[in-house]
Every structure is written in structure tokens, then in C-alpha cells.
Amino acid sequence: MIRTIGLIELNSIAKGIEVGDAVIKVADVQLLKAHAVCPGKYILLICGDIGAVKTAIEAGQEIGKAYVVDHLTLPSVHPQLIEAIQGLNIVPEVSAIGVLEFFNIATSIVAADAAAKAASINLIEIRLGLSIGGKSFITLCGDVSSVQEAVEVGVAIGKERGMLVEKSVIPSPRKELFEKLL
């Protein structure tokens, strides 16, 4: 089970690939994602034990220097987080959908983890900047009160970091809409 993740977001694709190679050489971490995102940025998402992830992220920051836009090391992640990033969570029918939209990628990961820990919800997906102008968003579901609670936790994180774009809570979503989110 993945317990700690690390992320580096860079504003250079070439430097991002260089940093990606370095972070997986410097510590015993697994590379979960490494790809370009809009608008011409590059993200690296790794996992491993906390010491290895910290070492890898610090090395990545040193090599990436001025190209590093954001980074994070997040220990004790919620079990649904990685599956939501990969779009693999199995979601039951629900009574509400929540959506959180952010200007950057790191905030969505932190907010999704906190939301999943705060309320009894299911993360549907965490979309990380691909084909959406470098922004990110989270979709989650559950009963109305749990979705509202989770969304408010995510909103607080987005506001604290100055990265919140918008939020929505949709009670009783139509089945067609819900199916398109999966």
C-alpha cells in the first residue's frame, strides 16, 4: 500500500525529464506519473517510504532549481488517492457529486487527500492538468452531507493556498451525468 507520495511540477519539459531521471536514481521510489501537462509544464509523481520520497523530492528541487513551480511530500495518504489520480476508483451509485477546481496540481492532491480523510466519500477522479490549461480538479461522491463536508475541507485548503477556482455540490445528479464521470 502506498503511504507517501511526492510531486514536482516544473515549467520546463526538458528539465522535467532530467529531474525525473534523477529522482528515481537518488532514492528507492516508484515513478507513478511523469508527463507533460498544459501549458508546457511537466509533472513527476512518485511514491515510497517517507525518507526516500523526501530525499527524491529534495534532489529534484535542487536539480530543477528555477524551473520548479511547486512540489509536495504528502505522508500517510488516503488509500483512495492513487486510484483517483489514475482514474481507477470503483464508485457506487450516489446521492451527490462534489467538484473542486484549482489553479495548480499540488493543491488538488492535498485537498483530495484531506477531503477523503474528513468525510465518508468516494474519490472519483483527480485530474492533473492534462488538457485543462494546467489546472486540476477533483470529483467525489457520497451522500449529500458527506459531499458538502468534503468539499468544504477542500475549499479551505484551496483558499489557504490561494489556488481555488470554484466548487460545486450537485445533489441527486442525473444518472447520465454520473456515468460520464466514471
* Rounded-to-integer distance, Cα 86 and Cα 144, Å: 25
Do 4-74 and 80-181 show the same overall fold?
A: yes
Whether pLDDT at 182 is above 90:
no
In this prediction, residue 1 has a pLDDT band, given cuts at 50, 70 and 90, of low
What confidence score (pLDDT) does residue 164 get?
A: 97
Helix intervals (H) in 65-119: 80-85, 105-118
Least confident of 24-33, 125-134, 164-173: 125-134
- Regarding pTM above 0.75, the answer is yes
Model pLDDT for residues 9-18, shown as the tens digit of each residue: 999 999 999 9
Q: How far is CA 56 from CA 43, 52, 93, 114, 145, in A?
A: 14, 6, 39, 23, 39
Give the CATH fold of the 80-181 domain. Alpha-Beta Plaits (3.30.70)
Q: Which CATH architecture has domain 4-74?
A: 2-Layer Sandwich (3.30)
Domain boundaries, the chain: 4-74, 80-181
